[in-house]
């Protein structure tokens, strides 16, 4: 596909579904490391997808390509975002 690159500096914008951010925050609050992940090939506009990090997971993609970019969900919400307790 035109515009694809192995260079993460090619990214200008990241699209994220709000539901993925909320789900990642909930998982992280419950003790599982969840991030929004972008994998190569990179393009000017990419989508970050929900990803639960496994303890045995390698830092790279396992195929010798560039390492995935992991965005902590807290980076995508404001500091004054409200916490809602579900009583669980």
Reported as a single tens digit per residue, the pLDDT across 62-81 is 566 788 899 999 999 887 76
Alpha-helix runs per DSSP H in the chain: 18-29
Rounded CA gap, 39 and 49, in Å?
A: 9
**Predicted local confidence at residue 64, as pLDDT:** 66
DSSP-assigned beta bridge partners for residue 15: 47
Q: Coil, strand or helix: which one is 36?
A: strand
How sure is the predictor about 30, in pLDDT bands with cuts at 50, 70 and 90? very high
How sure is the predictor about 84, in pLDDT bands with cuts at 50, 70 and 90? low
- 66: exposed, middle or buried (C-beta count within 10 Å: 0-12, 13-18, 19+)? middle
CB atoms within 10 A of CB 32: 12
Q: Does residue 55 have a pLDDT over 90?
A: no
Q: What is the mean pLDDT of residues 19-33?
A: 93
């Amino acid at each position: 596909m035109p515009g694809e690159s192995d260079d993460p500096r090619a990214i200008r914008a990241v699209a994220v579904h709000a539901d993925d951010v909320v789900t990642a925050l909930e998982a992280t609050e419950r003790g599982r490391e969840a991030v929004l992940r972008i994998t190569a090939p990179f393009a000017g506009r990419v989508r970050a997808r929900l990803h639960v990090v496994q303890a045995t997971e390698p830092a790279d993609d396992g195929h010798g390509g560039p390492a995935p970019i992991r965005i902590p969900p807290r980076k995508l919400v404001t500091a004054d975002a409200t916490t809602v307790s579900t009583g669980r």
